[in-house]
């Protein structure tokens, strides 16, 4: 005869067949709704990051070729 604790553990591992209340009432037609796509926003953010990286790389290449450091402030007495 299994103990009460063993029965409880066995029952807790079984999947529930009843849907959640919020899912049942609020999203009853969720399967028929068209899915929103946020690809444009994601692509814009990704492209902006790549563009910023390219600007930094280009500036580093340009400043590395200069013999005089133009970007530093001179020290005044």
pLDDT digits (tens, 9 = 90+) for 13-67: 555 565 555 555 555 555 666 666 666 667 777 777 777 878 888 888 877 766 6
Query: How far apart, in Å, are the Cα atoms of 17 and each of 14, 20, 24, 73?
Result: 9, 9, 12, 71
Give pLDDT, residue 52: 80
Number of separate domains in the chain:
1
63 located within any domain: no
68 located within any domain: no
Give pLDDT, residue 20: 54
Give pLDDT, residue 43: 73
Tell me which residue range forms the domain holding 18. Answer: 4-58
By C-alpha distance, which of 12, 62, 49, 19 is closest to 4? 12
Whose tokens are 């068209």? That residue is 34
pLDDT digits (tens, 9 = 90+) for 47-62: 777 778 788 888 888 7
């Amino acid at each position: 005869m299994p103990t009460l604790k063993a029965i409880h553990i066995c029952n807790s591992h079984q999947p529930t067949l009843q849907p959640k209340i919020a899912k049942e009432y609020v999203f009853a037609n969720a399967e028929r709704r068209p899915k929103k796509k946020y690809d444009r926003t994601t692509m814009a953010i990704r492209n902006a990051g790549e563009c910023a990286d390219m600007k930094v790389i280009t500036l580093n290449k340009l400043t590395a070729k200069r013999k005089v450091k133009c970007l530093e402030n001179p020290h005044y007495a």
